[in-house]
Amino acid sequence: MAADDADDGEQDRDTERLLAAVRARIAAERGPAAWLRSRPTPQRVGLIVHALTVAVLLTIWFGARPDLAAYPMHRMALALGSYAVCLLLAIDQLLRPLHVRRDRAAGLVLGATIALPWALALLPAAVRTRAVSGAGHDDCVLVGLVAGGLLMLLLRVLDRDTGGRRLRLPLMGAAAGLFANLVLMFHCPIDRTPHLLAAHATSGLVLTLLALAAMSARALRGGPESL
Amino acid sequence: MRADEELMAAYLAGDIAAFDELFRRYAGLLLRTLRRSLGRDDACDVVQQTFLQLHRSRHDYRPGAAVRPWIFTIALNLQRRHLRDARRRPLPLDDEAAAAPAVAARDITDDLPRYVRGAVARLPREQQRVIALHWFDGLPFQRVAETVGASLGAVKVRAHRGYLALRKIFEKEPHDGR
């Protein structure tokens, strides 16, 4: 009887200690980043979609490909549609809150996100209504890295759980690469396979490798992720 | 006593005491559940993380939705990660883990013979969870179903298969009761 009372007392003390620790962590959840993280998930996804749309519009405004009007619409629709669907699925996975049960399709989304830019790069070049020079478009990797970096930053800020889902960082890198390719669709008129592979798809590869490097560093340190 | 859902609604309305009450209601149960597969420190860490995530996700909560599966799904997702990160078996039942000082001295799993814990650890993870909640925690199937977020029928099937598998293990590998 006395032993049971002592056990109850010990458990109560442990619970109160844990509660105090949780309260302290919650008290530290302040500032704009914490506020953004705590928005309902549809709002967080919406925020990213809006920010990416603005980034695409800015690309069109300041650096649109010269053949935009001459580029076949069906080809543009195919590429944009597949990029947009894949990107939305990836963002949905990345911002999935922990109270939602694990989605077993996460690996599939990662595979599609990585493969899509490479698959589209292998399509034959589109036939335009007028010839356009690709001269002066040697900044594709840079533009791609900036666009992808923006998405990574947004995901980092809006993610509530940076503690290390297995596929999180590779998917984040691949999604950033996908967005880089989407932006480059509006920026670069060159659609020959060697250029698409070397300059466009490479942006995605670099971002994915960066994410994998961050994951490896985390695994070596045994600490939280750096991205 | 206020229902979990009322407490969550009150917390969303700014009542900090409601969060504390939810914590006190679930922390012990979570610790007992988690300590079957994690050490004491990791279990405490997962409980803290669970309630931190509950706080961060509070605006995702739809009024009236069941809170219990919400909390348990977070905890079990975090537990899976801990196990993966530590490269542990799904239910590590080594002597060190079993001998770790219990948060709750009445932790049921500490009283279980090693052969029982070893046998349960060999079941598929979904069956482990159901059997742990039903057998070790003594929850009725309906509560188990709410906790793991599965239908009542699915939970009963998992439990049935799990208990059959356990019986086969015990019949095949006689033990001396330890």
Contacts of A37 in chain B (CB under 8 A): 56
Query: Which residues on B lie below 8 Å from A30 (Cβ)?
Result: none
d(CA B99, CA B57): 35
CB contact, 8 Å: A10 with chain B?
A: yes
Contacts of A160 in chain B (CB under 8 A): 53, 56-57
- Nearest residue, CB atoms, A165 vs list B20, B51, B81: B81
Q: Which residues of A touch B48 (CB under 8 A)?
A: 18, 21-22, 25
Residue B149's closest CA among A101, A98, A41? A101
Is residue A198 a contact partner of residue A154, using CB atoms and an 8 Å limit?
no
Residue A21 near chain B (CB below 8 Å): yes
Give me the residue from B49, B55, B80 closest to A29, CB to CB. B55
**Using H for helix, E for strand and C for coil, what is the string for A21-33?**
HHHHHHHCCCHHH
Which has the closest alpha carbon to B121: B131, B110, B135? Answer: B131
**Is pLDDT at B19 greater than 90 in this prediction?**
yes
B11 interfacial to chain A (CB closer than 8 Å)? no
% pLDDT > 70, chain A: 84
- Model's pTM, two decimal places? 0.73
Q: What's the whole-number average pLDDT of chain B?
A: 78
Cα gap A219→A166, rounded to integer Å: 11
Q: Please classify residue A221 by burial: count the beta carbons closer than 10 Å to its beta carbon, then call 0-12 exposed, 13-18 middle and 19+ buried.
A: exposed
Closest CA of chain B from A160, distance in Å: 7
| Segment A174-194, tens digit of pLDDT | 999 999 999 999 998 888 888
Q: Is the per-residue pLDDT at A93 higher than 80?
A: yes
Distance between CA atoms of A214 and A169, rounded to whole angstroms? 8
Binning pLDDT at 50, 70 and 90, where does residue A130 land?
A: low
User: At which residue do the structure tokens 């960066």 appear?
Assistant: A210
The set of residues, in sequence order, having a beta carbon less than 8 Å from that of A169 and lying 6+ positions away, is: A211, A212, A214, A215, A225, A227
Residue A102 carries which DSSP code?
P
Band (pLDDT 50/70/90 cuts) for residue B52 is very high
Q: For residues A163 and B78, what is the distance between their CA atoms, to the nearest angstrom?
A: 9
Which range among A127-141, A158-172, B102-116 has the greatest average pLDDT? A158-172
- Count of CB atoms within 10 A of residue B30's CB? 23
Give B174→chain A minimum CA distance, Å: 34
Nearest residue in A to B71, CA atom: A99
| Interface residue A162 vs chain B (CB under 8 A) | no
Range of lowest pLDDT (A46-50, A89-93, B151-155, B170-174) = B170-174
Query: How far is Cα A160 from Cα A165, in angstroms, rounded to an integer?
Result: 12
Residues 69-128 of B with CB under 8 A from A: 70-71, 73-74, 77-78, 80-81, 84-85, 103-106
**Whether pLDDT at A74 is above 50:** yes
